[in-house]
């Protein structure tokens, strides 16, 4: 199977659903089906990549180095599978909840095509193009629901993220000036021999650009209104799928293309990450409504990814990848279950909450374990203490929501059985990965090995 197939499939599906009225049930389910097919195709691709190693195709049969390449390696493909799965769950939730806008299924499919492209391209300019496809679709999707404050939040979201995008574009121009190539392998090779000052400027613009997408502490201010205003399915997609672009971008550009610079700037990354963790946790504890707590929790949780990146090396990168995966699943699960009621959903929300706090038997436990390993590997007592403190704080705020919203059974507005299904499935995934974490650990180590040149 070719690695262009999932990309083409979802893209073509997006074009077809854009022509049809997405409010009609059959069209909406067609979109869900296309995403499902894309998800299955990506899973098959992942199995191939893990067994046979990375795959590359060069468009138009041009020689490598001239043509534009698509490449599936362990790092890209794991993020692609994750994002497509979250999009699938989020769209299924919205479809069950009755779509109000004819464009939503097409927008989600365009988002899926963009994300697949971002994770499977080997060309930095194509990375930008697919990245913009994803972001434009998500600006539009973030206003789904049409409430007044949502549109205001969506506007700020678009403006701030566009500034980040253009900063990335300037960084990209700088990369091309310095290296004269766009192929990721070639760029990494050429940057290693370039003048450090130029490389430092590139690194800063890339770091700021992806920090804005992730919503890290000093660049976070657009995030809470968007996540609070969005409908549960869209919030799950934004936090669980679109935000992956930020983590992946930092891993790919930081770990793969600028490893020396990120090693030198580890202190900056650690400070930014710690600030995010502390700020997110304190804000989350002081909030009352579930969606606000989750939004601030999202700011805090990405801080761990940055801390693991600061540690670097095989252990640090593996921890960063693992935590990014677990965090995306947690956030999607929590947003999808926070506004539905019933004992089953309550249990699912509890699994998500335990996972955020890092309590076994949830996938989040292994995320935290890997972070501790990274902290010990870096011989930093401060990092270990910070991770512990952050975990304790997240336990407090997660169970504040749980106590308020689920123990007191006052919201008896349970919205149908079917609305629970996406959340329950995600909860099973989180629980399953907590009980049998070996595949996840193996995948994240394999993905980290692509960054460190085969070192485990």
Q: Which residues bind other proteins (CB under 8 A)?
A: 2, 4-5, 8, 11-12, 15-16, 18-19, 57-61, 66, 70, 125, 128-129, 132, 136, 139-140, 143, 148-149, 151-156, 158-159, 162-163, 166-167, 169-170, 172-174, 176-177, 180, 182, 224-225, 228-229, 287-289, 291-292, 404, 408, 410
Is 20 strand, coil or helix? coil
Taking the C-alpha atoms of residue 422 and residue 168, their distance in angstroms, rounded to an integer, is 35
Minimum separation from the CB atom of position 153 to other proteins (A): 7
DSSP letter string over 205-223?
HHHHHHHHHHT-GGG-TTH
Bridge partners for 57 per DSSP: 70
Taking the C-alpha atoms of residue 149 and residue 226, their distance in angstroms, rounded to an integer, is 9
Minimum separation from the CB atom of position 29 to other proteins (A): 19
Instruction: Give the residue with the Cβ less far from other proteins, 158 or 447.
Output: 158
Instruction: Give the residue with the Cβ less far from other proteins, 199 or 251.
Output: 199
Is 139 strand, coil or helix? helix
Instruction: Give the residue with the Cβ less far from other proteins, 222 or 366.
Output: 222
Structural tokens at position 135: 């972001």
Bridge partners for 121 per DSSP: 70
Minimum separation from the CB atom of position 272 to other proteins (A): 22
Minimum separation from the CB atom of position 188 to other proteins (A): 18
Backbone φ and ψ for 359, nearest 5 degrees, come out as -105, 135
Minimum separation from the CB atom of position 286 to other proteins (A): 10
Minimum separation from the CB atom of position 337 to other proteins (A): 17
Minimum separation from the CB atom of position 263 to other proteins (A): 26
Minimum separation from the CB atom of position 339 to other proteins (A): 13
List of residues 6+ apart from 450 with CB closer than 8 A = 54, 73, 74, 75, 256
Contact 273, 303 (CB under 8 A): yes
Instruction: Give the residue with the Cβ less far from other proteins, 53 or 65.
Output: 65
List of residues 6+ apart from 425 with CB closer than 8 A = 89
Select from 251, 260, 136 the least CA-distant residue to 194.
260
Contact 108, 28 (CB under 8 A): no
Minimum separation from the CB atom of position 66 to other proteins (A): 6
Is 121 strand, coil or helix? strand
List of residues 6+ apart from 189 with CB closer than 8 A = none
Q: What is the DSSP letter of 342?
A: S
Instruction: Give the residue with the Cβ less far from other proteins, 290 or 306.
Output: 290
Instruction: Give the residue with the Cβ less far from other proteins, 150 or 327.
Output: 150
Minimum separation from the CB atom of position 383 to other proteins (A): 33
Minimum separation from the CB atom of position 438 to other proteins (A): 34
Contact 356, 277 (CB under 8 A): no
Instruction: Give the residue with the Cβ less far from other proteins, 173 or 385.
Output: 173
Instruction: Give the residue with the Cβ less far from other proteins, 148 or 379.
Output: 148
Instruction: Give the residue with the Cβ less far from other proteins, 128 or 335.
Output: 128
Residue 416 CB neighbour total at 10 angstroms: 11
CA angle 345, 349, 355 (to 5 degrees): 145
As a three-state string, the secondary structure of 40-87 is: HHHHHHHHHHHHHCCEEEEHHHCCCCCCCEEEECHHHHHHHHHHHHHH
Instruction: Give the residue with the Cβ less far from other proteins, 297 or 362.
Output: 297
Instruction: Give the residue with the Cβ less far from other proteins, 156 or 421.
Output: 156
Q: Is the peptide bond before 92 cis (omega within 30 degrees of 0)?
A: no
Q: Could you report how far apart the first and last alpha carbons of the chain are, in Å?
A: 28
């Amino acid at each position: 199977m070719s690695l262009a197939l999932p990309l083409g499939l979802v893209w073509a599906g997006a074009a077809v659903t854009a022509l049809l009225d997405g409010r009609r049930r059959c069209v909406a389910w067609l979109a869900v089906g296309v995403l499902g097919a894309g998800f299955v195709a990506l899973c098959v691709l992942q199995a191939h990549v893990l067994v046979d190693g990375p795959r590359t195709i060069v468009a138009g049969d041009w020689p490598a180095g001239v043509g534009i390449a698509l490449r599936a390696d362990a790092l890209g493909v794991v993020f692609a599978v994750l994002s497509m799965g979250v999009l699938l769950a989020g769209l299924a939730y919205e479809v069950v909840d009755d779509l109000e806008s004819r464009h939503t299924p097409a927008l989600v499919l365009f988002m899926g095509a963009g994300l697949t492209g971002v994770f499977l391209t080997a060309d930095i300019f194509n990375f930008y193009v697919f990245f913009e496809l994803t972001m434009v679709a998500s600006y539009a999707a973030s206003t789904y629901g049409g409430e007044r404050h949502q549109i205001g939040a969506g506007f700020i979201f678009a403006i701030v993220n566009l500034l980040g995008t253009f900063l990335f574009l300037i960084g990209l121009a700088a990369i091309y000036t310095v290296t004269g190539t766009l192929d990721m392998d070639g760029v990494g090779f050429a940057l290693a021999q370039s003048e450090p000052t130029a490389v430092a400027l590139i690194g800063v613009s890339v770091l700021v650009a992806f920090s804005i997408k992730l919503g890290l502490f000093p660049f976070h201010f657009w995030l809470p209104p968007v996540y609070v205003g969005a409908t549960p399915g869209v919030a799950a997609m934004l936090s669980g799928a679109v935000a992956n672009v930020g983590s992946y971008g930092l891993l790919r550009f930081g770990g793969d293309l600028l490893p020396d610079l990120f090693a030198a700037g580890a202190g900056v990354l650690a400070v930014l990450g710690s600030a995010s963790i502390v700020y997110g946790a304190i804000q989350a504890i002081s909030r009352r409504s579930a969606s606000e707590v989750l939004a601030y929790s999202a700011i805090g949780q990405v801080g761990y990814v940055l801390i693991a990146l600061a540690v670097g090396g095989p252990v640090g990168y593996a921890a960063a990848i693992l935590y990014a995966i677990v965090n995306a699943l947690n956030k999607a699960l929590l947003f999808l279950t926070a506004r539905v009621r019933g004992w089953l959903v309550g249990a699912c929300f509890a699994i998500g909450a335990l996972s955020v706090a890092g309590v076994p038997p949830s996938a989040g436990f292994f995320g935290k374990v890997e972070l501790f390993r990274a902290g010990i590997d870096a011989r930093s007592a401060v990092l270990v203490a910070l991770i512990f403190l952050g975990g304790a704080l997240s336990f407090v705020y997660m169970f504040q929501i749980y106590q308020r919203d689920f123990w007191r059974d006052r919201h008896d507005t349970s919205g149908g059985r079917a609305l629970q299904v996406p959340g329950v499935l995600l909860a099973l995934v989180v629980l399953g990965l907590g009980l049998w974490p070996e595949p996840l650990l193996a995948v994240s180590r394999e993905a980290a090995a692509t960054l460190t040149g085969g070192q485990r």
